[in-house]
């Protein structure tokens, strides 16, 4: 008996050793990716949604990319780059021997073409013959919203493998911006063949090439055999993206093995997946923030920081994260996610406490909420990555505020109206929920874009604080990342002291997938990279 047990133990140990040694990737197979919706279009310059970008992530590549598990930038189609002493000229040396899926070579002219076509006033120069780029089909949304026209002055090809960007202003996040999808390099030849149809026939240099698209049903990619990087993948022969709108149906498809990965499951299905022998779960803290903002165009919120802090102490944020985010979230203390460089971990967590909140409220000049009329709390009508159920969050907050004597009511509008009216900061808005999903992994993309109201009247939080504004300007104009990190840490400390918004949570994504899918990772930017994914037989 003892012998038998020993043998069993030995076998178990051997088995565990066997699995812990990373298996070598096996090429071949078709991966079926189940997603909640179809792509809108496949021209990276004009898309705005995740379902479109996840295809672009695998068909196209940009000059730089974010590392596998963070948003630190590393070279991709550019081998290296140098920045002039005045930080206004960026020179990129490009990788040689890279081909587009249509067989045409990748070179400096392709870079000038891909990015130059997005400029409002095209100051571009090709090295070779170049192309007469047709006028823009519509404004390239990301290029415009990342204010690239205000940053980039000209793009020139110095020789076949060198591109020079001249900037109008010092812009530290510039390199990080070039890792975003809109900055992907497309095949000029394929685009010029039929500019109107490129959106449905994308050609890039990525590890997979586009084959076929049946709208609202299936989109097929195939391994690009001449992919330039011989280290690593692509391993999969084919990838099929299937649009299955219903969350529970998508999960059933996974359960029966018809798909390999199930995007955005219902929270209840995550528990089922845990118990399923054939499935595993993968999690990633999202690069996002959900917050509660104050109307800074209106008193008493505008100039009473104590009052803002009283509200922060009154709201039981932990209960909201536990119950409404259903564990798929992380309580926030800063307005940038903890995975991002420049995150200030020394900022204390906002304490929840009714007594403390009441004391602060009295100090603020409103003991027991007296003299404070009924306030409105705008709550989001739709689920967003950073806030799964705005209305429920709103109701929870209203009841928390009632405990310290503040009367509040939930107000909501249809989503488009909500976004539009919120930007106007109307007097009938006191508090509002909103949030953000990061674009380029740069703290500037959260802290300046969301909270520096002095920079632009269209910033959603019209908080006007000179010290904060100076910090943001400094951050943009400092190139050294370590120094920038310090600047943003100070900004987070200032936000804790002034409480211009109440940070609520960073949400986490958890997806079930079949165990035989290997080396699939979720990226903080939510991009889907299948290059190194392979299937166990």
Partner 1 sequence: MGAYILRRALILIPTLLGVSVIIFFMLHITPGDPAELLLGERATKEALHDLREHLGLNKPLYVQYGMFLKRMVTLDLGETIWTRQKVWIEIKQRFPATIELSIAALIISCTLGMILGIISATKQYSIFDYLSMLGALAGVSMPIFWLGLVFMLIFAVNLGWLPISGRLSVGVDLEVITNFYILDAVLTKNGEAFRDALWHLIMPAFTLSTIPTAIVARMTRSSMLEVLRQDYIKTAKAKGLSQFQVIFKHALRNALIPVVTTIGLQFGVLLGGAILTETIFAWPGVGKWMYDAVMQRDYMVIQNGTLFIAGLFVAINLVVDVLYAVINPRISVK
Contact set with partner 1 (CB under 8 A): 30, 32, 37, 40-41, 46, 48, 137-139, 141, 144-145, 147, 199-200, 214-218, 240, 242-246, 248-249, 252-253, 255-256, 258, 384, 413-417, 419-420, 423, 434-437, 439, 449, 456-458, 460
3 state DSSP class of 294: strand
Minimum separation from the CB atom of position 337 to partner 1 (A):
16
The answer for residues whose C-beta is within 8 angstroms of residue 451's C-beta and 6 or more apart is 335, 459, 461, 463, 468, 495, 500, 501
Query: Taking the chain, what is the end-to-end CA distance rounded to the nearest angstrom?
Result: 36
State how far Cα 141 lies from the chain centre: 16
- Residue among 369 and 394 whose Cβ is closer to partner 1: 394
Minimum separation from the CB atom of position 512 to partner 1 (A):
16
CA atoms within 13 A on the CB side of 82: 4
For 181, which DSSP code?
A: G
Minimum separation from the CB atom of position 220 to partner 1 (A):
9
Stated as kind and residue range, the H or E segment containing 34 is strand 30-35
Question: Which pair of structure tokens corresponds to residue 139?
Answer: 């404004």
Minimum separation from the CB atom of position 226 to partner 1 (A):
25
Question: Which pair of structure tokens corresponds to residue 190?
Answer: 């394929």
Cα separation, 270 vs 284, in Å, equals 14
- Residue among 146 and 398 whose Cβ is closer to partner 1: 146
Query: How would you class 512 by CB atoms within 10 Å of its CB: exposed for 0-12, middle for 13-18, buried for 19 or more?
Result: buried
- Residue among 193 and 407 whose Cβ is closer to partner 1: 193
- Residue among 387 and 532 whose Cβ is closer to partner 1: 387
- Residue among 408 and 449 whose Cβ is closer to partner 1: 449
Cα separation, 442 vs 340, in Å, equals 7
Cα separation, 71 vs 67, in Å, equals 6
Minimum separation from the CB atom of position 240 to partner 1 (A):
5
Minimum separation from the CB atom of position 254 to partner 1 (A):
10
Minimum separation from the CB atom of position 40 to partner 1 (A):
5
- Residue among 410 and 434 whose Cβ is closer to partner 1: 434
Stated as kind and residue range, the H or E segment containing 56 is helix 50-59
The answer to whether 87 and 170 are in contact (CB under 8 A) is yes
State how far Cα 259 lies from the chain centre: 25
- Residue among 109 and 389 whose Cβ is closer to partner 1: 389
Minimum separation from the CB atom of position 362 to partner 1 (A):
36
Minimum separation from the CB atom of position 326 to partner 1 (A):
21
Q: Give which of 390, 387, 396, 384 is closest to 317, Cα–Cα.
A: 396
Residue with tokens 């779960």: 281
- Residue among 46 and 100 whose Cβ is closer to partner 1: 46
- Residue among 244 and 429 whose Cβ is closer to partner 1: 244
Hey, which bits of 117-206 come out as E strands? 124-125, 152-159, 162-167
Length of the chain: 537
Minimum separation from the CB atom of position 308 to partner 1 (A):
22
- Residue among 28 and 457 whose Cβ is closer to partner 1: 457
Question: For the residues of 414-452, what is the DSSP string, one character each?
Answer: -HHHHHHHHHT--TT-SEEEEEEE-SSS-THHHHHHHH-
Minimum separation from the CB atom of position 93 to partner 1 (A):
32
Question: For the residues of 91-120, what is the DSSP string, one character each?
Answer: EEEEPSS-B-TTSPBP-HHHHHHHHHTT-S
- Residue among 434 and 471 whose Cβ is closer to partner 1: 434
Q: What angle do CA 256, 259, 260 make, to 5 degrees?
A: 105
- Residue among 295 and 445 whose Cβ is closer to partner 1: 445
The answer to whether 278 and 257 are in contact (CB under 8 A) is yes
Minimum separation from the CB atom of position 377 to partner 1 (A):
18
Minimum separation from the CB atom of position 278 to partner 1 (A):
13
- Residue among 278 and 493 whose Cβ is closer to partner 1: 278
Maximum pairwise Cα distance, the chain: 83
Hey, which bits of 168-300 come out as E strands? 208-214, 218-223, 238-243, 261-262, 279-285, 288-294
The answer to whether 264 and 512 are in contact (CB under 8 A) is no
């Amino acid at each position: 008996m003892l012998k038998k047990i020993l043998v069993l133990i030995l076998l178990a140990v051997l088995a565990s050793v066997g699995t812990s040694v990373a298996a070598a990737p096996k090429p071949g197979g078709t991966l079926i990716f189940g997603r909640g919706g179809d792509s809108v279009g496949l021209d990276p310059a004009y898309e705005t949604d995740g379902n479109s970008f996840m295809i672009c992530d695998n068909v196209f590549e940009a000059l730089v990319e974010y590392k596998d598990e963070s948003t630190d930038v590393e070279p991709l189609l550019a081998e290296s780059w140098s920045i002039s002493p005045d930080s206004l000229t960026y020179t990129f040396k490009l990788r040689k021997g890279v081909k587009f899926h249509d067989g045409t070579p990748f070179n400096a002219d392709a870079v000038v073409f891909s990015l130059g076509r997005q400029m409002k006033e095209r100051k571009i120069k090709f090295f070779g013959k170049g192309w007469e780029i047709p006028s823009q089909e519509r404004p390239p949304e990301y290029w415009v919203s990342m204010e690239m026209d205000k940053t980039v002055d000209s793009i020139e090809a110095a020789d076949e493998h060198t591109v020079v960007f001249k900037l109008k202003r010092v812009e530290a996040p510039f390199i990080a911006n070039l890792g975003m999808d809109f900055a992907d390099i497309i095949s000029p030849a394929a685009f010029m063949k039929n500019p109107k149809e490129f959106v449905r026939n994308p050609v890039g240099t990525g590890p997979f090439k586009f084959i076929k698209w049946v709208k609202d049903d299936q989109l097929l990619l195939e391994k690009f055999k001449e992919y330039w990087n011989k280290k690593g993948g692509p391993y999969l022969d084919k990838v099929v993206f299937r649009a299955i709108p219903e969350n529970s149906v998508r999960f059933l498809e996974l359960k029966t093995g018809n798909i390999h990965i199930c995007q955005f499951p219902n929270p209840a299905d995550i528990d089922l997946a845990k118990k399923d022998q054939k499935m595993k779960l993968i999690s990633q803290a999202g690069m996002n923030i959900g917050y509660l903002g104050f109307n800074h165009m209106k008193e008493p919120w505008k100039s009473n920081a104590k009052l803002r802090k009283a509200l922060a102490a009154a709201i039981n944020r932990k209960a909201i994260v536990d119950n409404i985010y259903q564990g798929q979230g992380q309580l926030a203390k800063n307005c940038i996610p903890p995975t991002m460089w420049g995150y200030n971990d020394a900022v204390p967590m906002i304490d929840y406490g009714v007594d403390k909140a009441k004391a602060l409220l009295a100090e603020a000049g409103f003991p027991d909420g007296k003299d404070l009329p009924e306030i409105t709390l705008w709550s989001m009508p739709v689920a967003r990555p950073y806030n799964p159920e705005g209305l429920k969050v709103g109701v929870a907050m209203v009841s928390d505020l009632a405990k310290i004597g503040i009367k509040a009511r939930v107000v909501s509008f249809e989503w488009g109206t909500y976004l539009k009216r919120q930007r106007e900061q109307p007097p009938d808005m006191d508090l509002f929920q909103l949030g953000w999903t990061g674009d380029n992994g740069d703290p500037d993309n959260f802290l300046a874009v969301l909270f520096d109201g002095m920079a632009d009247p269209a910033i959603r939080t019209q908080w006007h604080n000179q010290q904060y504004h100076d910090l943001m300007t400094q951050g943009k104009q400092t190139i050294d990342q370590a120094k920038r990190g310090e600047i943003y840490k100070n900004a987070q400390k200032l936000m804790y002291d002034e409480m211009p918004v109440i940070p609520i949570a960073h949400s986490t994504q958890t997806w079930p997938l079949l165990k035989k899918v290997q080396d699939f990772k979720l990226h903080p930017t939510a991009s889907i990279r299948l290059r190194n994914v392979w299937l166990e037989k």
